[in-house]
Chain A
Amino acid sequence: MSNVEKHAHGKSGFSRRSFLKGSGAAAAATALAGGQGIAGAEEASRVVGPGMSKITLVVNGQSHKVDVEPRMTLLEALRYGAGLTGAKPISGDGSSGGSTVLIDGKPASASALLAMDCEGKKITTSESLAGDKLDPVAGAFVNHDASQCGFCTPGFVVAVKAFLAKNPKATEEEIRAGLNGNLCRCGTYGNIIPAVLDVVKGAGNG
């Protein structure tokens, strides 16, 4: 599925050292604002930019070679480099949760991470939940009709996966308190709550 050449590229105007550590969100904000480098990168051995560098992203267990600029977000690399569009561009700063993916098992907004920071990490997107046997969380969403337009849904499902990994026996109260990072405009919250509760019950039985 790797789709290296799909996205046409030009030359970036930015030239600076890569930063292999540090907060993705802060780095992304700085980079998009045209900031010059991030101090504190201990492993400042590899020089990247200006323009594209080829990196390998491991997404849903598959390696994707993608061309990225230093300022490119993980979301842009996933959508245009890897052809994976389950994570959605709803807000740039992560305030909608629409681009939620798992980075080494932990939820994060792909729109607020730099692609380069994610090299070598295990990235999981909503597409990993598809297949002949639907993932139980996605299945509970379908069963409870917890999607309407569906644009927020993939991010929501991934957020629920991460929430339940930490809170496998979550109560309704904990669900109502713990899933406020994702925004839905159509109003599917009323269907999501029983869907999550169903997964908890199913997990309890297993």
Chain B
Amino acid sequence: MVEYTWPDRKDSSVLGGSHDKVDGPAKCTGTAKYSYDITPPKTALARALGCPHAHCKIKSIDTAPAEKVAGVVHARALKKPGDEIEWQGELIAVVVGETEGAVAEGLAAIKADYEPLDVFVNEEDLDAAEAAGRARKGPGKVQLENEPGDDEDEDAFEEKEIARLFREAAAVVEGRYGIRAITHMCLEPHGSTCDWQDGKLTAHLSTQNVSGTPGQFGGPLGITADDVTVHCDYIGGGFGSKFAADSWGVLAATLSKDLNRPVKLMLDRDTELKIAGARPSGFADVKVGANSEGVITIWDSHHWSTGGMGGGSLSQDVMPYVIVPPNFRRRTTNVRTNTGPTRAWRAPNHPQGCALSQTAIDDVAAKLGMDSYELFRRNLVNVPEERRKLYEEEMKIAAKLMDWKAKWHPHGKGPKDGSVVSGLGMAIHTWRGGGHPSSCRVKIHPDGGVEAFLGSQDLGTGTRTVIATVLAETFGLPVDAVKVNIGSSKYPPSGPSGGSTTVGGVAESSRHAGLDALAQLNEKVAAKLGAKAQDLVAKDGRISDKNNADKGLSWKEACGLLGMNPLEVTSRGAPGRDSKLSSSGVGGVQMAEVAVDRETGVVRMKKFVAVQDMGLVVNRKTAESQILGAMIMGIAFSLFEERIMDAKSGAFLNAEIADYKLPRLGDVGELVVEIYEPEEERARGVIGLGEPPVIGPGAAISNAVANALGVRVPVLPMTPKQVLDTLKARGA
């Protein structure tokens, strides 16, 4: 009976070590091939045309002029007269041609006529949304410790009880907080190169979901998924926006079938930002009460948000965030705007929930004249009991790395360096990150070569290296001895890479497959050595008897016992409650130090500390990179990026790289990462990491700015304009 466990820390050879990404050289020299880079012979280039209006009816579309352009192979309308368009950029036509220039000329030649309709894009203004009939009440929740009397009206009791709790609170803070919508901005836009041949489709699709997308192509093309191969060795960014084949993926496949040649259809940057994914905004009216110790006793919030026209706005579950007092009420409103649909954005809902609620909680510290660290510490009574100690320990480590005690000053009371003031802020977060279903096929060749096959993908987290590390540990080999094949739907299926489920999922399946294969190999080795199979250990390139180290074979000799054919084993991982390999649920603490120039409104990152647990660490190097990257993405939405919509026309005004502001290398300050992996965390097994560290930055950085200025800049991103407007409005 094989027991699926990890070796102890002291017995681990490569597990938990710091390994270069096995595909690092390919990525760093540009030899890695992304979907955009794959161009089979005779490939035609396609571009789709986005609708210039945010809300309109199509009166006419004429693609005939495009087909007259030299170099254009084909053009077709994707909408017909009478069709309604509900957001700018919605695809209305496509042009296929021999060169980018011909396609661009063809797109410009298309004649279309529209009947503009009413537009609403400014969800921040709830009154305007209500007046425009765009606001709809969403779900909410009330939790009160006391219960109404038998003959008492529930609503009246609720109001009375909440009023009483606020009356009895030593400090009450009331404010409006917000975080604007952002996009995914994958540097490789959505799209594919589709190659239809003899009734079969190969789709080189930029996807986070290699195993799950073939059927999405098959149905519309009149074939079944077995005739579809989705291939993606490398993906240029996904962040939650690339789970589907998408209408434009199916379009590329259809065009390839119709034109009988491969077709490459990648969205252009402008369209990418308009239609291929956004994170919902969040705005909230918050009232929060605390006792004289700073412990939150009552929370009352109403938040509103937009998910575009089709829903998908900010969930109610994340308000208040992590710090949840025994008494709270939360209400929500969904606003329909003529903006592109939202898609899962790294840690869906959590960054907004954290930014909207842990800012309000930090304002209680300011009101009470308390150190923010102390207020957060005291409020650990309001976090789930099983994680109190974890947060407390992580806070201690973070404070030490930040030198919090020495640097702290009361809100707005710090020393001034000319017009520049500095401040500290913190936040805590949580995420699930349980492994997804995954299967792994391991092949051990008679000459000692080892291969793994998984229908998984690498978002940039180092999926290949994680699998190689697990199998190398299992077989007692170096990491680079294991060849990992992912990125094809023809390999054993793995789940989509979302929700920080991949590392847990593939670690499970590759450990299962590795141990299962080793058990079979050990039978042969045991027979040869005259040992018991269960006494054999694979370590340092040898399989030997644990009771007699001299009794053993080199890995290569052992594999030689396989005969002519390789040993092949396919196994499924078994994540869940009973697994000793993986688990779910993490914390995490972040602390930011900023410098704010009161004259220019510019916020600079000085130092940013993240302490993060993730159960058992598989590869320290790539884990640290995930945290660093998340911190920088957090700096981006805290200080730089936002989707800017024109209220009158509904146009997305900054849908180009040059206009959509993101931090550059010089904007990130000093970044400090500490992985928290004590024995009790390591014993839980592998837990996903990609998402949690992107949650805290909004609140941590906003709290640091509030500490520096003595007033809250209420809406993220805290651009210079936001900062100056706040200072002006508050007369600070």
Contact = CB atoms under 8 A, between A and B. Distances in A.
A143 B664 CA distance: 21
Interface in B475-523: none
Interface in A124-175: 125-127, 129-130, 134-135, 138-139, 141-143, 145-154, 157, 175
B664 A180 contact: yes
A157 B664 CA distance: 15
Contacts of A135: 29
Contact of A182 (B43, B236, B665): B665
B674 interface: no
B629 A87 contact: no
Contact of B668 (A85, A153, A189): A189
A202 to B, nearest CB: 16
B459 A149 contact: yes
A89 to B, nearest CB: 7
A86 B633 contact: no
Contacts of A29: none
A178 B671 CA distance: 19
A89 B621 CA distance: 29
Given A79-B37, A91-B657, A177-B666, A147 B269 contact: no
A183 B25 CA distance: 20
Given A71-B101, A72-B100, A179-B665, A147 B460 contact: yes
Given A8-B98, A142-B21, A142-B25, A186 B629 contact: yes
Interface string B24-66: 1111111111101101011110000000000000000000000
Given A32-B104, A95-B658, A88 B236 contact: yes
B236 A150 contact: yes
B24 A145 contact: yes
Most chain-A CB neighbours within 10 Å: which of B657, B658, B667? B657
Interface stretch (B180-188, B195-203, B311-319, B560-568): B180-188
B87 to A, nearest CB: 23
Interface stretch (B70-78, B408-416, B546-554): B70-78
Contacts of B460: 147-150, 186
Contacts of B33: 85
B34 A151 contact: yes
A6 interface: yes
A192 B625 CA distance: 11
B636 to A, nearest CB: 8
B617 to A, nearest CB: 14
Nearest to B36: A89
Nearest to B693: A187
In this complex, the interface size class of chain B, counting residues with CB under 8 Å from chain A, is 35 or more
A107 interface: no
A147 B21 contact: yes
A51 interface: yes
A176 interface: yes
Given A13-B105, A71-B101, A72-B100, A86 B632 contact: no
B30 A32 contact: no
Given A91-B657, A190-B631, A153 B666 contact: no
A93 interface: yes
Nearest to A177: B666
A140 to B, nearest CB: 9
B630 to A, nearest CB: 7
B234 interface: yes
B681 interface: no
Interface string A1-33: 000001111111110000000000000000110
Contacts of B471: none
Given A9-B71, A12-B71, A13-B69, A96 B657 contact: yes
Nearest to A80: B39
Contact of A90 (B238, B462, B636, B657): B657
Given A12-B102, A32-B104, A151-B236, A138 B29 contact: yes
B28 A141 contact: yes
Contacts of A182: 664-665
A13 B234 CA distance: 36
Given A12-B71, A148-B460, A148-B461, A143 B20 contact: yes
Contacts of A192: 665
B658 A93 contact: yes
A187 B102 contact: no
B450 interface: no
B31 A130 contact: yes
A6 B41 CA distance: 5
B632 A189 contact: yes
A116 to B, nearest CB: 12
Most chain-A CB neighbours within 10 Å: which of B27, B97, B621, B663? B27
A45 B25 CA distance: 45
A154 B187 CA distance: 13
B145 to A, nearest CB: 42
Contacts of B239: 185
Contacts of B723: none
B285 interface: no
Given A6-B39, A11-B70, A148-B625, A183 B27 contact: no
A58 interface: no
A12 B32 CA distance: 32
A117 interface: no
A187 B632 contact: yes
Contacts of A51: 70
Nearest to B73: A10
Contacts of A95: 656-658
B591 to A, nearest CB: 16
B699 interface: no
Contacts of A31: 101
A48 interface: no
Contacts of A85: 30, 33-34, 36-37
Given A12-B71, A151-B236, A190-B671, A145 B21 contact: yes
Most chain-B CB neighbours within 10 Å: which of A69, A80, A149, A182? A149
B658 A91 contact: yes
Contacts of B108: 34
A187 B101 contact: no
Nearest to A180: B664
A184 B117 CA distance: 38
A56 interface: no
Given A6-B41, A187-B629, A88 B188 contact: yes
B218 interface: no
Nearest to B465: A145
Given A6-B41, A176-B665, A187-B628, A149 B31 contact: no
Contacts of B663: 189
B30 A10 contact: no
Contact of A183 (B41, B70, B104, B657): B657
A191 B24 CA distance: 13
Interface string B621-659: 110111011111100100000000000000000001110
Contact of A10 (B36, B98, B236, B671): B98
A188 B187 contact: no
A183 B238 CA distance: 16
A192 B628 CA distance: 11
B271 to A, nearest CB: 13
Nearest to B623: A145
Contacts of B632: 184, 187-190
A69 B99 contact: yes
A11 B98 CA distance: 9
Most chain-A CB neighbours within 10 Å: which of B44, B70, B108? B70
7 contacts: A9-B71, A91-B657, A126-B30, A127-B31, A180-B665, A187-B630, A192-B665
